[in-house]
Structure 1
Amino acid sequence: NFSTNLTKVMLNFRFNHFNDENRPVLIHSWTLSYRLFHNNFWGLFDFGGYPPYDIDIYGRHNIKGSYEFIHSYKKIRYSIMVSADLLPDSHPSVEPLRLEGTAALYPFDTDMGFFASYTYGHDDYNYRFVDSFHRISFGVVWDWFTPFEIQRAKRKTN
C-alpha cells in the first residue's frame, strides 16, 4: 500500500547575497518541516489514507530540518546540504533518525554538475522505513532551480 494522504507544513528562511550583476553568489538556506500522516482525503474526508498498521510502523509524525549553503565563484558554483529527519513515534524496529549530507559542484556555467552524498538511518521511500543503512553515493546532478539574475526595480526620480 502506498498513499499520499499527508499534511506538510514547511518554513524556509534564507539569506541571499548578490553581486554587481544581480546574480546570487552566496546563499544560506534553513528549512524546518512537519509532516502528519493521516487517513483523510484532502484532510477532510475519511477515506483512503494510511491504514492503522502502517501508522504503527512509522508513526504519524515526521520532523525534518536542513541547512544548505550555495556559493558561486566566477563560473563555478558549489553547494553543501545537511539534513536530519526524525520519526519520533515510529515502531522500535525502525531507526527513527535519518541524516544526510550532500556536496555538489557545478564546474561550468550550466545546470549540470557532480555530487557526492552520505546517508545514515531509515530509508525514506515507501515501506523501506524499517531498513537502516550507511550509504555513499556519487553521480551527475541537474539543478532545476539554479540561481539566476534578478532585475532590481528602478527608482523613479522626480
Structure 2
Amino acid sequence: MKKPNVFRRFLRPEVILILLALGLATAALFPWDDNNSIDIHLHDTYYVIAISHICMLLAIPLAFAAIVYFLTRNFRQWAVLKYLHLLSFGMIPVLLYFLSTDFQISYYRQDDVFNRFNSVKMLSLATVLIFVLGQVAFLLNLIAGFIRGKKTATS
C-alpha cells in the first residue's frame, strides 16, 4: 500500500489559495498598524482606503478561485499555468506595499523626488501587468481544461 504524500496535498492550487485567503482575512481582522492606508486621488475626489479593508476584499476572489480550482480539479489543465496564476496573486502584497503611504513617505524623503516617483510608477505597472497576465493564464487554463476533457486513470 502506497503512503500518501502529505506535502504534495498542500501544494495543490486550491489549498494554497484557501490558505492565502485565510491569511488575508486574518490580516484584515488584526491590523498591525491603524494608519496604514492607500490614498487615491481621482479628479476632484480624494479616497483613503485602509489596507485592512483591501485585504478583506482580496480574500473573496482568492476563495472564489480556490472554489473554481476545486470544481475543475478533474480536468486536464496545465500545471505551469496554474502556478503562474498563483504567482500572480503573490504580486498583490507587493503592489499594496508600493501603494501604501509608509512606502511612499520613506521613499520620497530623499532628493530627486520626480525620478523616484517614475520608478514607483514603473514598479506598480509591472506588478499590475504580472497580475493581469496571471488572470489571463487562469482563464486560458480553464478553457484548455474543458477542451482537453477529464483526466483518465493513466494521466
> Fold-level match, TM-score > 0.5?
no
TM-score between the two structures when normalised by the length of structure 1: 0.26
* Structure with the higher strand share, 1 or 2: 1
Task: Kindly indicate whether structure 1 or structure 2 has the higher relative contact order, using CA contacts under 8 Å at least 6 residues apart.
Answer: 2
* Structure with the higher helix share, 1 or 2: 2
